[in-house]
Amino acid sequence: MVKKTRAPQRREDSLSRDRIIDASIELLDSAGEGGLTFRALSERLATGPGAIYWHIANKGDLIVAACDAVIAGVMAVHAEAQTPEDTIRALALGMFDAMDEHPWIGSALFHSAGALPTVRLLECIGQQVRVLGAPPARQWSATSALLHYILGVGGQNAASRLSAQTRELDREDFLGEVADAWSALDERDYPFTRSVAAQLRDHDDRGDFLAGIDLILGGIKGMSKATGRKR
């Protein structure tokens, strides 16, 4: 009797794309883009690089996939409010918090501007801008302004927090030092900066961020009203 040999099970069968992405997000959060290597990922997943390459082509694709997973999660929670204004505010604040929690997202979006993560945001924001009544000729500029504001300010806030952590700076102490420096400026040359020095000391980053969103939304609604009056 011929003994049947057992076919070796392919290692990639026990490893899902979702598991790889989840592990990648953990590595990116803890060690940044430089710490995400296929070797480190293999050790975390207790598998070989070949099994990972079965699902992901390269590091660039892996970072984009990780970024898309985070953004898809934000949109699933925040992209269905009662009004288009509320939807945009919720999505914007969700992205602000996500970028604060995952500081690498800003860089990932910048280097993959035409990929799915950015397109998800663009589509969601653009649909709300349409509902707000922005004229067709201005929908792209309005959507682009919101998208760039969300990613720019959110990314800057995340970078500032990361920088402060690296230098072991306390936010309250840092802002206090800057506020004192602004207060000491020459009033004739820097009247505005001196006037807001006290506000800088205890300002709310998220509140300021949403205030900027409201300014853009106000401009979009103003365009919509102007278009309606011309008809």
* pLDDT band at residue 27 under the 50/70/90 scheme: very high
- In sign, the C-alpha dihedral spanning 206, 214, 86, 138 is negative
Instruction: Please check whether residue 40 lies inside any domain of the structure.
Output: no
Instruction: Please check whether residue 14 lies inside any domain of the structure.
Output: no
- Written as six digits, the tokens of 13 are 């069968």
159-166 contacts, C-beta under 8 A, 24 or more apart? 159/103, 159/106, 161/100, 161/103, 162/103
Higher pLDDT, 128 or 229: 128
Across the chain, mean pLDDT equals 86
pLDDT in tens, 195-231: 999 998 888 999 999 999 999 999 998 887 766 655 5
Instruction: Please check whether residue 91 lies inside any domain of the structure.
Output: yes
Q: Which amino acid is at 13?
A: D
Segment 160-176 mean pLDDT: 77
Among the ranges given (12-21, 45-54, 124-133), the one the predictor scored with the smallest mean pLDDT: 12-21
Higher pLDDT, 170 or 52: 52
Instruction: Please check whether residue 102 lies inside any domain of the structure.
Output: yes
Supply angle C-alpha 81, 87, 89, rounded to 5. Answer: 125
CATH code of the domain covering residue 125: 1.10.357.10
Residue 44 CB partners (closer than 8 Å, separation 6+): 23, 26, 27
Residue 95's pLDDT is 95
Domain that holds residue 206: 83-224
User: Which one, of 16, 124, 118, lies nearest residue 67 by Cα?
Assistant: 118
Instruction: Please check whether residue 176 lies inside any domain of the structure.
Output: yes
CB neighbour class for 176 (10 Å; exposed up to 12, middle 13-18, buried from 19): middle
Q: What is the DSSP string of 130-165?
A: HHTT--HHHHHHHHHHHHHHHHHHHHHHHHHHHHHH
Residue 173's pLDDT is 81
Instruction: Please check whether residue 41 lies inside any domain of the structure.
Output: no
126: pLDDT strictly greater than 90 = yes
CA gap 68, 12 in Å, rounded? 22
Instruction: Please check whether residue 55 lies inside any domain of the structure.
Output: no
185: pLDDT strictly greater than 60 = yes
CB-CB neighbours of 129 under 10 Å? 26
User: Which one, of 22, 61, 69, lies nearest residue 45 by Cα?
Assistant: 22
* pLDDT band at residue 9 under the 50/70/90 scheme: very low
Tokens 């853009």 map to which residue?
216
Q: How many domains does the chain have?
A: 1
pLDDT in tens, 68-124: 999 999 998 876 778 999 999 999 999 999 999 999 998 888 887 788 899 999 999
Helix, strand, coil percentages (3-state) for the chain, rounded to 5, are: 75, 0, 25
19: pLDDT strictly greater than 70 = yes
Instruction: Please check whether residue 17 lies inside any domain of the structure.
Output: no
CA gap 175, 187 in Å, rounded? 20
* pLDDT band at residue 23 under the 50/70/90 scheme: very high
154: pLDDT strictly greater than 50 = yes
User: Which one, of 147, 205, 137, lies nearest residue 171 by Cα?
Assistant: 205
